[in-house]
Structure 1
Amino acid sequence: MRRPPLPKLPSRLPVDGYLLALVGTVALAALLPARGPAASVAEGAATGAVALLFFLYGARLSTREAMDGLRHWRLHLTVLACTFLVFPLLGLAARLLVPEVLPPTLYTGLLFLCLVPSTIQSSIAFTSLARGNVAAAICAGSFSSLVGIVVTPLLAGLVLHGSGGGFSAGSLVSIVCQLLLPFLAGQLLRRWIGDRLTRHKKALGRVDRGSILLVVYAAFSAGVVQGIWHQVSALRLLCLLGVEAVLLAVMLSATWYGSKRLGFHRADRIAITFAGSKKSLAAGLPMASVLFGAQAGLAVLPLMVFHQMQLMVCAVLAKRFAASAGPEPAVAGGVGGSAAAAEAAGEVAVSGARR
């Protein structure tokens, strides 16, 4: 009697090339941190880079496409509830792990991770691979990013103040000046510069990624100079990895089985699962630099770890969803959704961790 074949592991795990660049930037900041006048220059450049990032986000967001997606309001409300309600509640519950499992510094970063918006590109790519509702994933990710510009700072003001996050009225003013105003300026100027930005999408992607690397270097340099890295041991980092693995497993289960209880079809459930269980590294890094200042290095570490973990787990999960589906794509968004998915999946491979 022949034994059944063992399950095959994926031939290639999605180790994000841009995440490797981020790790390299952290290593550079550890070896050659910006000090003295150089630190002031790096901080000023990072502030300008954050403002530029959110200006470009505003200029590229199509208001018409976002309004068209409102027709699927139940799905979008479900994703928003997972992102900005369920995630924060789990983050607050993790307060029980302090200080036995997580030190306060890492817990603050974990709680911040639970407040940032969802991803866009990777959610679309995994939804496409799993034969889900790609059109819904596009709109859900866009809504989450748009809402997060306002909701994430407000949530931070509510929950981080009591968790050592250092949030203050000054942080709120910085959020408005560095994030919200540039975003609104981009929206206002979109009618004149939107087409030009679309034509130079790849070049702007490099600007996005380069800006984030600059933000990471400035944040981690300040942390090295102040000696905050001596506060975290290797054992604590392993504990953080375990806590985040549980967090991801809980959210994947909640979005998949919860959406079934809410009566969504399979294609919609797939979109909800990938859009509602993931967090945006690109949105979180600039916000952390504004909210935490010199403490941003440790604050973004949980987000960086969670980002790579979600990519690897969701890639395997998307392949399982696709294998269990029928021969025809189960996309509720129609043919247009499939075409958008193919294009979006290509963008993910190019853009790395942009979202």
Structure 2
Amino acid sequence: MRRTLTKHWFLVGLSVLIPSGLLLGRFGSPDLVSQAVGWIDARVVTATVLFLVAFTLASRKLMKAAKQPGPVAVACMINSVLLPLAAWPLAIQFESPDLRLGLMVAAAVPCTLSAASVWTRQAGGNDAVALLVTLVTNALCFLTTPFWIANAAGVAIDLDPAAMTLRLLLTAVLPMAIGQAVRAAPPLRNFADRFKQPLTNTAQALILTVVFAAAAEGGLQLAGVGDGAASNAKPPTGLSFVLVGLAGVSLHVVALVGGFYGSRVFGIAAVDRAAIAFAGSQKTMPVALLVATSPTMLGADDLLGPGVGAPFVVFPMLMYHTAQLFIDTAAAKYFRKETEDVAEPVTPPAADRDAVVPRT
């Protein structure tokens, strides 16, 4: 039991902090909630998380992958174009503006910052392709994410695409660039490699603080106190949460399976198709939380202080993220049967094997 809890502490944290935050907001006073979570600034937390994951992100194989850009282009197309397109008709079916917008946020954010590489290695695939897709989609998220949310969310919100673009550029892209630049110094690179797991755990713990703050405001809105711009309607029903979760799971599975088997028509080897499957279908949580919880981005009232916007927008992303943890673990074992026919099995480093919950 202890080993399981240690290995899956992030999922345990989500399971505890989400209901705790909802209960705090639902039954606590606004002043109490503000004291508990008002100090959490999602922008600062996100920038710190992205710096840490970029700082620990090894990029030695990127040049090799760049010389054969075909698989990278296919995965980027799936992640940044096809997934948002597929989410569009599903999102507009939901009556709740929060869930409509949340599903589009989940589909429009870039690839995870390291999980795709970890699972690609576990599947015996080419993790250099996954790494390059990670960097390309995250570097362009300040353009692609605002575009999809502004044009396909189907929600009447006071959205300023220019402000969102600038915020993503400063809060997501710039910290990643700084993290990789700092890593270029050999002593700092050695430090990052040596303490990779503690730094990763720190980043994940910071994510949990933002999740808790968003859940707390969700509780306030359940109590009729919140007034975020994206939540003018009554709170979503339990059935709506289930359906939006199923929609997210379906999107991920279609992108995962379609990426692996569909890219076969281009004559792409199985080791590269594994990278396409994971990098094309996985989505990052920090950028999604930044978009979903930022009042500036979604035009929500700053009820609890900086960085807390429309709370129920975060739930589709949480569901998508949690589902991809379990689905891709099984998929990696299945895809490995094909990659082993053309490549030697790849054993992830010990730090990566322990990091069951990805560094997003």
Do the structures match in fold with TM over 0.5? yes
After superposition, the Cα gap between the structure-2 partners of 1:194 and 1:31, relative to the gap in structure 1 and judged at 3 Å, is same
Match of 1:306 in 2: 320
Q: List per-residue Cα deviations over 1:138-172 (Å, max 9, x = no partner).
A: 33334333333553244434444x52454324444
Deviation at 1:16, TM superposition (A): 4.7
Q: Does 1:347 align with 2:342?
A: no
Match of 1:222 in 2: 217
Could you tell me which of 156, 161, 174 is aligned with 2:167?
174
Preserved contact between residue 122 and residue 348 of structure 1 (Cα < 8 Å) = no
After superposition, the Cα gap between the structure-2 partners of 1:195 and 1:156, relative to the gap in structure 1 and judged at 3 Å, is farther
Q: Does 1:18 align with 2:10?
A: yes
Rounded Cα–Cα distance in structure 2 between residues aligned with 1:187 and 1:40: 35
Could you tell me which of 193, 198, 206 is aligned with 1:203?
198
Structure 1 counterpart of 2:11, which letter?
A: L
Preserved contact between residue 113 and residue 303 of structure 1 (Cα < 8 Å) = yes
Q: List per-residue Cα deviations over 1:168-213 (Å, max 9, x = no partner).
A: 2444443344334434444444444444333322221122012111
Match of 1:146 in 2: 139
Structure 2 counterpart of 1:179, which letter?
A: A
Could you tell me which of 286, 290, 308 is aligned with 1:286?
290
Rounded Cα–Cα distance in structure 2 between residues aligned with 1:329 and 1:83: 27
Match of 1:83 in 2: 79
Bigger fraction of residues in helix: 1
Q: Secondary structure at the match of 1:352?
A: coil
Match of 2:49 in 1: 53
Could you tell me which of 272, 296, 309 is aligned with 2:276?
272
Rounded Cα–Cα distance in structure 2 between residues aligned with 1:70 and 1:234: 45
Rounded Cα–Cα distance in structure 1 between residues aligned with 2:61 and 2:288: 24
State the identity %.
23
Rounded Cα–Cα distance in structure 2 between residues aligned with 1:114 and 1:302: 10
Q: List per-residue Cα deviations over 1:75-132 (Å, max 9, x = no partner).
A: 1111110000001111212245233xxx222111111111111224432333333332
Unaligned runs of 5+ in 1: 1-11
Deviation at 1:231, TM superposition (A): 1.2
Preserved contact between residue 197 and residue 351 of structure 2 (Cα < 8 Å) = no
Deviation at 1:259, TM superposition (A): 0.2
Rounded Cα–Cα distance in structure 2 between residues aligned with 1:20 and 1:81: 33
Match of 1:9 in 2: none
Preserved contact between residue 281 and residue 303 of structure 1 (Cα < 8 Å) = yes
After superposition, the Cα gap between the structure-2 partners of 1:38 and 1:173, relative to the gap in structure 1 and judged at 3 Å, is farther
Deviation at 1:300, TM superposition (A): 1.6
Match of 1:239 in 2: 243
Q: Secondary structure at the match of 2:125?
A: coil
Rounded Cα–Cα distance in structure 2 between residues aligned with 1:316 and 1:183: 30
Q: Does 1:315 align with 2:329?
A: yes
Q: Secondary structure at the match of 1:243?
A: helix
Preserved contact between residue 30 and residue 224 of structure 1 (Cα < 8 Å) = yes
Q: What does 1:7-46 correspond to in 2, within 5 Å? A: 16-33=8-25, 35-36=30-31, 39=34, 42-46=37-41
Match of 2:342 in 1: 330
Rounded Cα–Cα distance in structure 1 between residues aligned with 2:181 and 2:126: 31
Preserved contact between residue 196 and residue 351 of structure 2 (Cα < 8 Å) = no
Structure 2 counterpart of 1:80, which letter?
A: C
Deviation at 1:56, TM superposition (A): 2.8
Structure 2 counterpart of 1:94, which letter?
A: L
Deviation at 1:280, TM superposition (A): 2.0
Preserved contact between residue 212 and residue 286 of structure 1 (Cα < 8 Å) = no
Q: Does 1:117 align with 2:110?
A: yes
Preserved contact between residue 19 and residue 353 of structure 1 (Cα < 8 Å) = no
Q: List per-residue Cα deviations over 1:250-272 (Å, max 9, x = no partner).
A: 22342133201122122222221
Rounded Cα–Cα distance in structure 1 between residues aligned with 2:127 and 2:178: 29
Rounded Cα–Cα distance in structure 2 between residues aligned with 1:301 and 1:213: 13
Preserved contact between residue 125 and residue 270 of structure 2 (Cα < 8 Å) = yes
Rounded Cα–Cα distance in structure 2 between residues aligned with 1:224 and 1:96: 24
Q: Secondary structure at the match of 2:112?
A: coil
Rounded Cα–Cα distance in structure 2 between residues aligned with 1:223 and 1:232: 10
After superposition, the Cα gap between the structure-2 partners of 1:330 and 1:146, relative to the gap in structure 1 and judged at 3 Å, is farther
Rounded Cα–Cα distance in structure 1 between residues aligned with 2:54 and 2:32: 32
Structure 2 counterpart of 1:223, which letter?
A: G
